[in-house]
Each structure stands twice: as structure tokens, then as C-alpha cells.
Amino acid sequence: MLGNFEYTRIRSIDEGCRALADAKEAGAVLAGGTDLLVEIRNGLKSPKLLVDCKALDDLHVLDTSPEKTTIGASVTLNRLIENRTFRGHYPALADALESIGTYQLRNRATVSGNICNGSPAADSAPVLLVLDATVHVHGVGGPRVIPIADFFAGVKRTALNPDEIVTSITLPVNAGRRTSFLKQQRIKGHDLAVVNAAGAYDPETREVRLAIGSCAPTPVLLDPIPMDVSDLAASINHAVSLVQRSVSPISDVRASAGYRNAVLPVLVTRILRELLDPGGEA
């Protein structure tokens, strides 16, 4: 048996927020369900109420303007991956999303669901961090905006209140920025990250943003790092050193702390060489 819970299919965000508030921290939002239903089946979560928001048209909006892109909370990963405009603006994020699960799962899974799960290994998280994404949420007290850097609160914990629902994620558009994402996993095919990392380089400021996943209780975003392209080796070594001092890998069922510590500088070095290579892809 999957679980013993009540189910409601909401017709508005306000209705969903009130239902979650009435559930008194025993409610859960059902959108894609690719993480939630597995956790219920495995006994890791036991909500008393599932609030199904898939029927809300506003949550399926995908809109790109010259300044920003808005991703509704119910927009599926495959819809983003297969959108040429989105991939053109955010190639590293498209790569990260394509590394999540199987094609069939990505027909249901969402970016909002990936971050709301609160996993330190969420593949979208490092790229969203270096892109300065913002998370738009709504609760019984109304809407609010959470910078992605403030969204993750610990292993399987986020900044969301029990009555709040994510409505969208927004990303700024920066045509000159170069981005990159890499992931190390145990097996070929779909698997959770042993280590994942993303970088964004702005040729105008000559600064790089780096974010690391699966190496701390939450994904880690470093402060902007100035890069001296005339001494690339020294700049990369400095950045790698900063990364290593900013994370605290542990041993778990996927990998040992020693393995993570060995893989991390390799991924970061590869990302930086791609970002700082004038002939590299944006």
C-alpha cells in the first residue's frame, strides 16, 4: 500500500495554501510527484494530505523576456530541455536537467520539485545558484520571493513554510555569461550525483561564480572569484583551493568522503577551463 492520506485537487493557489495550513505541517504538495511518491512508498514521508496543484494553468507558464525567464512550478524538465530558446539562454541548466532521471521521469519531474525536495545532491541546484535564480512562493499570508541562495536550509529542508507553495522560478537573462555544469555519478545512465558542480563566468567583470552539490548539508555557493586570465593556472588553483575550504564531504552509500574530495578539484578544474577558454562554449 502506498500510504494512507487524504487527497485534494485544488482550483487556486489560495485554496491549496489554506489546505496546507489546515493540515498543520502534515500536508504535502503533489506536482510531478517523482520524489514525493517514492518517499511515501519507502516510508520516508507519511503526509496526511496531498494537495494536487497540477490543474492550475498559472503553474504551467514558461515565459522568456529580454530581462528574465519565468518557469512555472509545474513546467516539466523535458519541456525546458527541448525548448530552443531556454537552452540557448541556459545551456548548463539544460544539461543539468537532462542528467536527472530517465526521459519518462522528466516528463513528470519539475525544477521546482527538484529543489523543494531539499536534497544536497539536487542537480539543478548548483546551476540555479550561479545564475542567481529567485523562487516565488505563496502562502496564507500572501506571496514572497526567496533568493535561491537562501532557499536551502539543510538536508531535506528548505525555507518554505508549511502553508507555502512554490509558484515559479525566475532567472535573469545575461547573453554574455558563460556557464557550465558537470556531474560525477556511480554508474552510467541515471543516478544521483556523487559530486555535482556549476560555474558562471562574466567576461566583463572577469569574475566566476561556483556552486557545489553533494559535498555539504546544502548546495554551496561561493562568493564571486576574480580570475586572472593571463595566469590561468594560478587562477584555477586559487579557485579550487577556495572550493575545497568551502565544503565538507561525508561518506554515505554513494561514495566516501575521500572519493568526493578527490573528484571535486577535477570537476572544478574542468569547469573553469571550459569557462575561461576563449573558444569554449557559452
Tell me 11's DSSP state.
S
Domain spans of the chain? 6-52, 57-172, 178-276
pLDDT (0 to 100) of residue 2 = 66
Check if the beta carbon of residue 53 is closer than 8 Å to that of residue 12.
Answer: no
How much is the pLDDT for 186? 80
Count of C-beta atoms within a 10 Å radius of residue 244:
15
**CATH code matching the domain that covers 57-172, chosen among 3.40.190.10, 3.40.980.10, 3.10.580.10, 3.30.465.10:** 3.30.465.10
| Radius of gyration, alpha carbons of the chain | 19
* 6-52 and 178-276 agree in CATH topology: no
Among 212, 194, 211, 191, residue whose Cα is nearest residue 256: 194
Residue 263 — pLDDT band, cuts 50, 70, 90? very high
Instruction: Count the Cβ atoms, other than its own, within 10 Å of residue 241.
Output: 12
> What three-state secondary structure class fits 34?
coil
Residue 194 near residue 263 (C-beta atoms within 8 A): yes
The three cell numbers locating residue 126: 548548483
Yes or no: is domain 6-52 CATH 3.30.43.10? yes
DSSP class of 222: P
In three-state secondary structure terms, 276 is: helix
Helices vs strands, H then E, count in the chain: 10, 15
C-alpha cell at 278: 576563449
pLDDT, tens digit, for every residue of 73-88?
999 999 999 999 999 9
Tens-place pLDDT, residues 187-212: 776 778 899 999 999 999 999 999 99
Cell numbers found for residue 114: 527538484
Distant-in-sequence, close-in-space partners of 88: CB < 8 Å, separation ≥ 6: none
* pTM for the model: 0.94
C-alpha cell at 202: 562574466
Q: What is the mean pLDDT of residues 259-279?
A: 91
pLDDT band at 281 (very low <50, low <70, confident <90, very high): very low
Is pLDDT at 279 greater than 80 in this prediction? Answer: no
| pLDDT score for 36 | 87
- Per-residue pLDDT of 231-249, as tens digits, reads 989 999 999 999 999 999 9
pLDDT digit string (tens) for 130-158? 999 999 999 999 999 999 999 999 999 99
In 3D, which of 59, 45, 46 has the Cα closest to residue 16? Answer: 59
**Statement: residue 218 has pLDDT above 80:** yes
Strand boundaries in the chain, DSSP class E: 6-9, 27-30, 49-52, 62-64, 68-72, 134-139, 142-147, 152-154, 157-158, 165-172, 178-185, 193-202, 207-213, 220-221, 225-226
Q: Of the CATH numbers 3.90.600.10, 3.30.390.50, 3.10.20.600, 3.40.50.1100, which one belongs to the domain with range 178-276?
A: 3.30.390.50
